[in-house]
Structure 1
Amino acid sequence: MRMKNQGTGRAGLLLGAAGLLAACTVGPRYQPDRMAIPARFAEDGHAATPAEIARTTAEMKDWWHRFGDAELDRLVDRAIAGNYDLRIAGQRILAERALRDAQASAWYPQIDAGTVAGDSRYSINIDNWPIRPGNPANRPEASYLSYGVSASWQLDVFGRIRRSVEAQERAVEETVEDRRAVLMTMLSELAGDYMVLRDTQLRLQIAERNIRVAQDARDLAQRLYQQGVGTTLQVAQAQSELETQIAAREPLRTHIAQITHALDVLMGQMPGTSAAALEQPGPLPRVPDFPATVPSVVLANRPDIRRAERAYAEATARIGVAVAQLYPNFSIPLSFNPNASAMYQLFETGALSWQFFMMASLPLMHGGKLTAQVRAAQAAAEASRLAYRRTVLQAFREVEDAMAAWHDDVEHTEWLHRAALDSALASDRARRLYSAGLVGFLDVLTTERTALAAENAEAVARLERLQDAVALYTAIGAGWQGVPLTASALPVSLETQHALARAFQQ
């Protein structure tokens, strides 16, 4: 009965000690900054219903599918698999995780083994040279053999190691959010470039049509001149207009080639690889439905907001690391080093040599350095909190701006479409009237240039509407939810480089 009580008392003592150690973690505990956000966006036309929010949440995982373009979907898949910025960001996550593991290793005993063997010679030309123990002849030469183990264990009584590991874990989470931000930026850039490619190809088709119209106008001016109705001035004007239209076509071809090169680099391949696949003009992607959302979705999905929040958590943990420096430090050093001059003596009792201590150190006077480090950590944490709030404000501004642009695009594009139709009709009528001799050639040039400008303006407006749709999806933090972190591995296996790695964690 007494032995049972003793065992129960020992267990209770161990549990109590463990609880005491856990309770001794110094420094502030992290509390998320509760920033007040509006219930709805100012630029949103109506309050989103739960069904609309659920639809948007599902669409956020692969928002590029909403544009209904199979070629864009193919490019996105290839970019996710091959983009180098994304792969670099994945390696940074691995690096931060390794640093986290390095910090956590301080919790465990640090053990090293070693051995030494060799010969040494001492000078005998010194007066009163003492007789060395174990060598009564005082020979100057001696053999030395030794082996041993040294160990140290840092007792994390006040949580310095725990706070360091916590801070490094938050740093890992920051790199995860960094990779998500890289992914979103890449998707936005890829989709934007693809929209520009299709728009430029459309404008190139417009330019080709305008060249044919200018050729017809030149031929008409020459025919009327030959019939004695026209003048050489009209022929020269028509020829100049044709050459101007031909010249305007070449920059568009250059731009198409450059955009194709940019898309190849985003996909992690040599520029020009996709030229054959993308050189064929395709229709502009369709504009998706407006994504209904609420402000809380932005807080939950924007990687920059999530990263800023993790940075604040890391900075808070760093305060605990600085505060722990003010408290006593406990450690247990241990060494075991037998030594002798002959191999058969090395394992005898007389050759044994060992040390075992319980060490404690208390900071007494450092000229205010330790308290200054605490103040610096506190200021850094407050700066991180303020940076989080600034990031939230900037994110909401981007969402509001993207919503405003999306809504304004609809009416803007519709008016430009009407203007393009009316300008084309006016140009056709001007050519008919000119062929009948009812208007001058200057009227033909004016209406043709107006029609060209209106058609190009409509194409640019349609591009802007597509780009604003991409910007809104990016602003609300869409795109990373359906893409898992890539499984990266070191190019060199540690197990093949270190024989003991198969038995111990180094």
Structure 2
Amino acid sequence: MSRLRILAVALAAAGLSACTTLAPDYQRPAAPVAAAWPAAGAAADTVAADSAWRELYVDERLQALIERALEHNRDLRVAALNIEAARAQYGIQRADQLPSLALGATQNAQRVPGDLNSSGESMVSRQYAVTLGITSWELDFFGRVRSLRDAALEQYLASEQAHRSARISLVAEVAAAWLQLAAEGDTHALAAHTVETRESALRLIRASHDAGVAGALELRQSEGELARARADLAASAARLARARNALEVLAGGPLAAQWLPQHLHGDAARLAELPAGLPAEVLASRPDVSAAEHRLRAANANIGAARAAFFPRITLTASSGSASAGLSGLFEGGSRAWSFVPQLTLPIFEAGRLAASLDLAEVRRDIAVAEYEKAVQQAFREVADALAERDSAVATVAARSAVAEAAAASLKLAEARYEAGVDGFLVLLDAQRTHYTAEQELIAARLAEASSRVTAYKVLGGGWQ
């Protein structure tokens, strides 16, 4: 049989083996969630798309920082390498569908002792061969190899979604850490300004005390407020350093000064409108849900491989080449040699191993279904919570702004009444504390509102499109 005939037989068998698979028909499980978002979040906002995070995070410093993190973050690098590993595994499984041609050159030398030879003398025989052939190629009539290939493909696609999820999470984490750093900077500036105010007030109280106008109680209270303000300043400095350290870890290295935020402002994140009542479409864009479905498809394909194991397995080994007893006559006329070895293996008794393998594949499919449904439910809950928090955060900022404005106005009145001698120092002190607390709460509310936008970006799988 010539090499062309062997190749023709192999290709014909490949065409027949690619026609079937015993995997169950895949049907996406129904999403076990409500048909629409809760009313509380129906009018909330979100972003355009994963690839358009620049449209959400409009600050150029934050954009530069995110780009650096996407390039240097170690966790994201691990996720990318996992994709490469899954791609390689898929390539291995896909290659099993086609015959592997190999060129081999062999020499077989054998010495026979004299007492085993009819001539009574020892002799050495040699045989040389050069062959091109196929080794143990399985004809996939029942789709076992094809099912394994499909499973590897779905695992590869799931790893891609895992990488996309890691990328979205990293973008959100960098943005959240950047906003946290901005908020800590504002808190630190507020604490520093408070220390300056308390120092100025203490100087005035001490001067009044020396002049016999202010009492010792007022002096001690002013000293206590200054010490408390200095303690707050030291604590805010530590939080500011920790926030910067966390951001550097996410960015993968030290931060340049031009990337750092100056203040926490409301337009650090800009959002587009989210259509209400479309949970299925929104959840489908989440990479974790998509990855769970790919794993479900892989488990479904593995059932086909387990079913095919009950049927005969046919493998081909074939080669064609030249063989000779002498190296010089290897390619001379009459030295052509070939072999064709088909093999059929039919499982008869496996002590329940094949049935158990099929049961295991079906159970793993059922587990994958449950994990997919759990991923959908978790995604729905996270989105609903994020939308509710978004509405609450906007209302909280408005309320805290009003409180801060009222506290500032009260402080001015208290200062004027104290200077006019209408009220005592305790009234002024209470107004200062109220104003300081109101400003701190306003910064926290602004951070929560900006962070809710980041959370919406993350839980919607990069956004709505």
For residues 229-244 of structure 1, the aligned pairs below 5 Å read 229-244=213-228
TM-score, normalization: structure 2?
A: 0.87
Structure 1 unmatched ranges of 5 or more: 1-13, 482-506
Shift in Å, 1:23:
4.7
Alpha-carbon distance between aligned partners in 2 of 1:46 and 1:376, rounded to the nearest angstrom: 43
Alpha-carbon distance between aligned partners in 1 of 2:20 and 2:457, rounded to the nearest angstrom: 46
1:255 alignment counterpart: 239
2:141 partner SS: coil
For residues 143-162 of structure 1, the aligned pairs below 5 Å read 144-149=126-131, 150-152=133-135, 153-162=137-146
2:30 to 9, 14, 34: 34
For residues 87-486 of structure 1, the aligned pairs below 5 Å read 87-117=77-107, 121-124=111-114, 128-131=115-118, 136=119, 138-140=121-123, 142=124, 144-149=126-131, 150-152=133-135, 153-268=137-252, 270-271=253-254, 273-274=255-256, 276-278=257-259, 281-286=262-267, 288-289=270-271, 291-293=273-275, 294-335=278-319, 342-347=326-331, 354-478=338-462
Alpha-carbon distance between aligned partners in 1 of 2:214 and 2:170, rounded to the nearest angstrom: 57
Shift in Å, 1:296:
2.8
Shift in Å, 1:79:
2.4
Are 1:67 and 1:285, in contact at CA under 8 Å, matched by a contact in 2?
no
Alpha-carbon distance between aligned partners in 2 of 1:480 and 1:396, rounded to the nearest angstrom: 14
Alpha-carbon distance between aligned partners in 1 of 2:396 and 2:95, rounded to the nearest angstrom: 62
Alpha-carbon distance between aligned partners in 2 of 1:155 and 1:143, rounded to the nearest angstrom: 37
Shift in Å, 1:339:
5.9
Structure 2 unmatched ranges of 5 or more: 1-9
TM-aligned CA distance change 1:57 to 1:428, over 3 Å: closer
Deviates more, 1:192-201 or 1:107-116: 107-116
Once the two structures are superposed, what CA deviation does each residue of 1:471-495 show, in whole Å capped at 9, x if it has no partner? Answer: 11211111698xxxxxxxxxxxxxx
Tell me the number of residue pairs that the alignment of Structure 1 and Structure 2 aligns: 451
Identity across the alignment (%): 29
Are 1:64 and 1:72, in contact at CA under 8 Å, matched by a contact in 2?
no
Shift in Å, 1:66:
3.3
Alpha-carbon distance between aligned partners in 2 of 1:229 and 1:431, rounded to the nearest angstrom: 17
Are 2:266 and 2:446, in contact at CA under 8 Å, matched by a contact in 1?
no
1:357 partner SS: strand
Alpha-carbon distance between aligned partners in 1 of 2:379 and 2:428, rounded to the nearest angstrom: 50
Are 1:218 and 1:235, in contact at CA under 8 Å, matched by a contact in 2?
yes
Letter in 2 for 1:284: H
Alpha-carbon distance between aligned partners in 2 of 1:445 and 1:307, rounded to the nearest angstrom: 58
Alpha-carbon distance between aligned partners in 1 of 2:225 and 2:458, rounded to the nearest angstrom: 43
Alpha-carbon distance between aligned partners in 1 of 2:464 and 2:356, rounded to the nearest angstrom: 41
For residues 73-92 of structure 1, the aligned pairs below 5 Å read 73-92=63-82
Deviates more, 1:412-421 or 1:284-293: 284-293
Shift in Å, 1:73:
2.1
1:25 alignment counterpart: 21
2:39 partner SS: coil
Alpha-carbon distance between aligned partners in 1 of 2:350 and 2:110, rounded to the nearest angstrom: 43
Structure 1 vs Structure 2 CA RMSD: 3.0
Shift in Å, 1:280:
6.4
TM-aligned CA distance change 1:338 to 1:67, over 3 Å: closer
Letter in 2 for 1:260: R
Are 2:17 and 2:139, in contact at CA under 8 Å, matched by a contact in 1?
no
